[in-house]
Amino acid sequence: MISADTDIKPFDVTAIRKEFPVLQRKVKGKNLVYFDNAATAQKPQVVIDALVSYYQQFNANIHRGIHSLAEEATAAFEATRDTVKDFINAKYREEIIFTHGVTESINLVAATWGRQNIKEGDEIIISGMEHHSNIVPWQMLCQEKKAKLKIIPVDNNGELIMDEYEKLITLKTKIISIVHASNSLGTINPVKEIIEIAHQHNIIVLVDGAQSAVHLDIDVQNMDCDFFVLSSHKIYGPTGVGVLYGKKELLEEMPPYMGGGEMIKEVTFDGTTYNDLPYKFEAGTPNIADTVAFKAALDFVNEVGKDNIRKYEVALTKYAMNKLSQIEGVRLVGAAKHKTSVVSFIVDGVHPQDMGILLDNYGIAVRTGHHCCQPLMNRFEIPGTVRASFAMYNTKEEVDELVKGVEKAVKMLR
Amino acid sequence: MEAVQTIQETEEEITDEFSLFDNWEDKYEYIIDLGKKLKPLSAEYKIDINKIKGCQSQVWLTANEDDGRIYFKADSDAVIVKGLVSMLIRVLSGHTPQEIIDTKLDFVNKIGMTNHLAQTRSNGLLSMVKQMKNYALAYKIKQQS
């Protein structure tokens, strides 16, 4: 039994829960059990306060106004950039580009670096466990440039087959875009090793940190990735804010993504010169309020301590995997050695959607379906899974509720 | 045409049946049971052209016309959806195109299942209702021509 592990209390979860107002609410008359954290995490009061206070006290458009409000808003916006820089240990603050989220960050790279560097016959490598947002932008690029998309296969445990990865690399390979942690299985990929091999062949690597940034310590310099992308809303921050980190020399070479205000130096009808990094990639008025509040989320995570959160989540995940696998007919999908706090499972003879509908009636929010990873689901020959993903505020008692709910649902559905 | 129970009468019948349940579990058990009892579509009909794609579950729907009335057959890979599908067939099948076009399916709301027809469910059920009405419209146009 692994349950003893959950008695390790790296922090006071009762106190943590009080910071998240939504956890107090009822769903269908029952206490909400929120296990859909890999889709989006709930927001602590400090983040909500930061949003409200931005609009109450210093709403202004940033960077160009010379009045006090504009200066304060600009300072708050740019403070988030510094916090993000430290959060992922980037070398320079101008390597941090704000976007709307991971999807936009990846599209930006595909549309700028990709269009500039990918030529007919070139090859792009992704893996068999990518989210659709790390598949489709590359497919679109390949279609446009007549390039080829190659896939690192996944084994039965839900891990990448690294030998096959090396075999995929040819002289035509230009970029590898790889997920750090799988959203549907939780698998943590050996990105450092992947990058090292790629760099031996002068291949650029983009790491999709949508799922990893909230759980793992991110050090882009140590990892040596060329691009790293993340989304605020999965790190307890507001929706609509994402980050593209890129090595400065790469970003400088890349053409702009969108044209408009902020990204320019000088505009005449004969032509335009572009602004310096990071503004070259931040056309138009950005999502100022949410970006400002994102800092509060990162500060909150830093304060609780990523290491503490991780220890707790790992113990909770082990406990859930152990308990769920004891239910007759339950099969866990994804048994990678290194995992984030994601438990994906299917039940013999039960459609994941039916399970999700019944669990919702018990007040339990899980994700069901293909998790935007249809190719991966096809690999396992299943229509989808039921996914429970844990955050710092989840408890052992909530896992027990899930186990009870699954048992009851199975009885009803069989 | 012989007299058949109207759409409204069937809707009222279902609403009455559901009024007997005093908790959600009984209600869902009943729907699951309906789903299990719905005769599966034979493989020849479970083809792409009959498939209504949802994000999570699939629905297959066929329709044929006989003596001015439309008869539906359907199936799904998820049993709760299949139960709901079974009720929609019970309500709509065997009626004239105009009757099917005109119905608002109020019973879905009365039995507390509206959320299953909501956009977020992405289960193909909403698309199935649209497709049933499309069939009705197509047969109506055919009848007029």
Q: Do B79 and A384 touch (CB under 8 A)?
A: no
Contact A412 B55 (CB under 8 A): no
pLDDT at A192 over 90: yes
Instruction: Write down the domain spans for chain B.
Output: 7-144
Is A357 in Cβ contact with B80 (below 8 Å)?
Answer: yes
Among A383, A384, A413, whose Cβ lies nearest the Cβ of B79?
A413
Mean pLDDT of A8-23: 89
Nearest CA in chain B to A359: B25
Hey, how many other C-beta atoms are within 10 angstroms of the C-beta on A306? 17
The tokens for A4 are: 């003893």
Residue A122 has pLDDT above 70, yes or no: yes
pLDDT computed for residue B112 by the predictor:
85
A410 touches chain B (CB under 8 A): no
Q: Give the pLDDT confidence score for residue A2 in this predicted structure.
A: 37
- Cβ atoms A337, A159 nearer than 8 A: yes
Q: Check if B138 contacts A (Cβ < 8 Å).
A: no
What CATH superfamily is the domain A3-40+306-413?
Aspartate Aminotransferase, domain 1 (3.90.1150.10)
Residue B123 in contact with residue B55, Cβ under 8 Å? yes
**Chain A residues with CB-CB distance to B21 below 8 A:** none
Q: Is A384 left (phi over 0), alpha (psi -120 to 50) or beta?
A: left
The Cβ-side half-sphere exposure at B131, using a 13 Å CA radius, reads: 22
pLDDT of residue A3: 40
Question: Chain A residue closest to B80 (CA)?
Answer: A354
Q: Does A79 touch chain B (CB under 8 A)?
A: no
pLDDT in tens, B67-120: 999 999 999 999 998 999 999 999 999 999 999 999 998 898 889 888 777 655
Query: DSSP secondary structure string, A31-88?
Result: E-EE-BTTT-----HHHHHHHHHHHHH-----SS--SHHHHHHHHHHHHHHHHHHHHT
Chain A residue at shortest CA distance from B79: A354
Judge whether residue A62 has pLDDT over 80. Answer: yes
Nearest to B28 among A28, A356, A358 (CB): A358
Residue A100 to residues A103, A229, A278, A287: CA-CA distances in angstroms? 8, 11, 15, 8
Burial of residue A332, with CB atoms counted within 10 A of its CB: 0-12 exposed, 13-18 middle, 19 or more buried: middle
Is B57 an interface residue toward A (CB < 8 Å)? yes
On chain A, the residues whose CB falls within 8 A of the CB of B25 are 361, 408, 412
Check CB contact of B24 with chain A, cutoff 8 Å: yes
Q: Which of B42, B55, B67, B120 is catalytic?
A: B55
- A353 to B24: CB separation less than 8 angstroms, yes or no: no
pLDDT at A50 over 70: yes
Residue B77 forms contact with A (CB below 8 Å): yes
CATH (one of 3.40.50.300, 3.40.50.720, 3.40.640.10, 3.40.50.1220) for A48-302: 3.40.640.10
Which pLDDT does position A370 carry in this prediction? 84
Instruction: Check whether A64 has a pLDDT greater than 90.
Output: no
pLDDT, average across residues B119-139: 81
Chain A, 226-285: which have a CB under 8 Å from a chain B CB? none
In this prediction the ipTM stands at 0.89
Q: Does A384 sit within 8 Å of B56, measured CB to CB?
A: yes
Return the CATH number of B7-144, one of 3.90.1010.10, 3.40.50.1980, 3.30.465.10, 3.40.980.10.
Answer: 3.90.1010.10
Stretch(es) of chain A classified as CATH 3.40.640.10: 48-302
Q: Which residues of B touch A357 (CB under 8 A)?
A: 28, 80, 116
Average pLDDT (A376-386) is 90
Q: What is the pLDDT of residues A29-43, one digit of tens each?
A: 999 999 999 999 999
Instruction: Name the closest residue on chain A to residue B83, using Cα atoms.
Output: A354
Q: What does the mean pLDDT of chain A come to?
A: 95
Interface membership of A361 toward B (CB under 8 Å) = yes
Chain A: residue nearest B81 by CA? A354
Query: Which residues of A does the annotation mark as catalytic?
Result: 372
pLDDT for B6 beyond 50? yes
Query: Which residue did the predictor score with more confidence, A342 or B3?
Result: A342
Percent with pLDDT over 70 in chain A: 98
- In this predicted structure, what is the pLDDT of residue B123? 62
Q: What pLDDT band is residue A5 in, cutting at 50, 70 and 90?
A: very low
The reply to whether residue A353 touches residue B32, judged by beta carbons under 8 angstroms, is no
H helical segments located in A129-284: 136-145, 162-168, 191-200, 220-223, 248-253
pLDDT average, residue stretch A124-142: 97
- Tell me the per-residue pLDDT of B27-83, one tens digit each, with 9 for 90 and over: 999 999 999 999 999 999 999 889 887 667 888 999 999 999 999 999 999 999 899
Taken in order A11, A14, A17, A21, the sign of the CA dihedral is negative
Interface contact B25-A361, CB threshold 8 A: yes
Does the beta carbon of A357 lie under 8 angstroms from any beta carbon of chain B?
A: yes
* Residue ranges, CATH 3.90.1150.10, chain A: 3-40+306-413
Under DSSP, the state recorded for A255 is P
Q: Is the pLDDT of residue A377 over 90?
A: no
List CB contacts of A266: < 8 A, sequence separation 6 or more.
Answer: A272, A273
More confident residue, A21 or B122: A21
pLDDT of residue B118: 65
